[in-house]
Amino acid sequence: MNDVKKDLKKPAKIMLREIVDKVYAEAWEAKKRGEPVGWSSSKFPAEIAETLGLKVCYPENQAAAIAAKHGGKRMCEYAESLGYDNDICGYARISLAFAAGAECEEKPMPQPDFLLCCNNICNCMTKWYENIARMHNIPLIMIDIPYNNTPEVNDENITYIRAQFENAIKQLEKISGKKFNTEKFKRVCENANRTAKAWLKACSFCQYKPSPLSGFDLFNHMAVVVTARCRKESAEAFEALAAEYEESVNNGTSTWHYDENYRIMFEGIPCWPELQNLFRPLKEKGINTTAIVYAPAFGFVYNNMDEMIRAYCKAPNSVCLETGVDWREGICRENKVDGILVHYNRSCKPWSGYMPEMERRFRKDLGVAVVGFDGDQADPRNFANAQYITRVEGLYEIMESKKNGGL
Amino acid sequence: MTDIEILLAQFEEIANNPKKQLEQYISEGKKVIGCYPYYVPEELIYAAGMIPMGLWGKRGNPNKAKEYFAPFYCSLVQMNLEMALNGDLQKLSGVVHTTLCDTLRPSSQNFRVAMDKIPMIFLAHPQNRKPEFGVEYTMAIYSKMLNQLEEIVGRKVSAGDIKEAIKVYNENRQAKREFVKNAGMHPELISAVQRSAVLKSSYFMEKHLHTTMLNELNKMLQASPIEEWHGTRVVTSGIICDNPSFLKILDDNRIAIAADDVAHESRSFRKDAPYNEDPIRSLAVQFADQDQDTILYDPSLNSRPSHIIDLVKNSNAQGVIVLMMTFCDPEEMEYPSLYNALKEAKIPCLKIGYNHQITDFGQARTSLQAFAEVLSMKN
Ligand code: SF4
Ligand code: SF4
Section A258-264 average pLDDT? 97
- Considering the domain boundaries, does residue B215 fall inside one? no
pLDDT value, residue A297? 80
The residue whose C-alpha atom lies closest to atom 2 belonging to ligand 1 is: A348
Section B157-173 average pLDDT? 98
pLDDT value, residue B379? 58
Q: A275 alpha carbon to ligand 2 midpoint, in Å?
A: 32
Section A181-198 average pLDDT? 96
Q: pLDDT (tens digit, 9 = 90+) per residue, B308-341?
A: 999 999 999 999 999 999 999 999 999 999 999 9
d(CA A18, CA A351): 30
- Considering the domain boundaries, does residue B363 fall inside one? no
Are B1 and B9 a contacting pair, CB within 8 Å?
yes
pLDDT value, residue B377? 86
Whether A3 shows a pLDDT value over 60: the answer reads no
Cα A194 to chain centroid, rounded:
18
Q: pLDDT (tens digit, 9 = 90+) per residue, B246-292?
A: 999 999 999 999 999 999 999 999 999 999 999 999 999 999 999 99
- Considering the domain boundaries, does residue B70 fall inside one? yes
Q: Give the relative orientation of helices A182-204 and A232-251 as an angle to the nearest 10 degrees.
A: 20
- Considering the domain boundaries, does residue B186 fall inside one? no
pLDDT value, residue A407? 65
Q: Which residue of A has its CA nearest to B121?
A: A149
Structural domain harbouring B50? 25-158
Is residue B350 helix, strand or coil?
strand
pLDDT value, residue A6? 47
Q: B268 alpha carbon to ligand 2 midpoint, in Å?
A: 14
Mutate to test the pocket of ligand 1, among B72, B73, B102, B328 (most ligand atoms within 8 A of CB): B102
Q: pLDDT (tens digit, 9 = 90+) per residue, A94-138?
A: 999 999 999 999 999 999 999 999 999 999 999 999 999 999 999
Domain count, chain B: 1
ipTM over 0.90: yes
Average pLDDT, chain B: 97
- Considering the domain boundaries, does residue B254 fall inside one? no
CATH code for the domain of B139: 3.40.50.11890
In chain B, which among 102-161 make CB contacts under 8 A with chain A?
102-103, 105-110, 112-113, 122, 124-128, 131, 133-134, 136-137, 140-141, 144
Scored b (16 or more CB within 10 A) or e, B173-210 reads: bbbbebbbbbbbbbbebbbbbbbbbbbbbbbbbbbeeb
Q: pLDDT (tens digit, 9 = 90+) per residue, A332-377?
A: 999 999 999 999 999 999 999 999 999 999 999 999 999 999 999 9
Are A346 and A375 a contacting pair, CB within 8 Å?
yes
Q: Which residue of A has its CA nearest to B125?
A: A146
d(CA A107, CA A377): 16
pLDDT value, residue B265? 98
Task: Walk me through the domains of chain A, giving residue ranges and CATH numbers.
Answer: 9-179 (3.40.50.11890)
Q: pLDDT (tens digit, 9 = 90+) per residue, A41-83?
A: 999 999 999 999 999 999 999 999 999 999 999 999 999 999 9
Is A88 in CB contact (< 8 Å) with chain B? yes
Q: Which residue of B has its CA nearest to A346?
A: B72
- Considering the domain boundaries, does residue B354 fall inside one? no
> For ligand 1, which residues put their CB under 6 angstroms from it?
A 60, 89, 91-92, 121-122, 124-125, 317, 347-348, 350-351, 377
Ligand nearest to the CA of B328: 2
Q: Where are the beta strands (DSSP E) in B108-262?
A: 120-123, 232-238, 255-262
- Considering the domain boundaries, does residue B9 fall inside one? no
Q: Percent helix, strand, coil in chain B (nearest 5)? A: 55, 10, 35
pLDDT value, residue A4? 46
Q: pLDDT (tens digit, 9 = 90+) per residue, B19-72?
A: 999 999 999 999 999 999 999 999 999 999 999 999 999 999 999 999 999 999
Q: What percent of chain B has pLDDT over 90?
A: 98
DSSP B239: S
- Considering the domain boundaries, does residue B123 fall inside one? yes
Q: Closest Cα to residue A10, out of A258, A241, A202, A349?
A: A241
Reported pTM? 0.96
Ligand nearest to the CA of B36: 2
Are B194 and B256 a contacting pair, CB within 8 Å?
no
For chain A, the maximum distance between any two Cα atoms, rounded to a whole number of angstroms, is 66
pLDDT value, residue A1? 41
Q: pLDDT (tens digit, 9 = 90+) per residue, A294-337?
A: 877 888 889 888 999 999 999 989 999 999 999 999 999 999 99
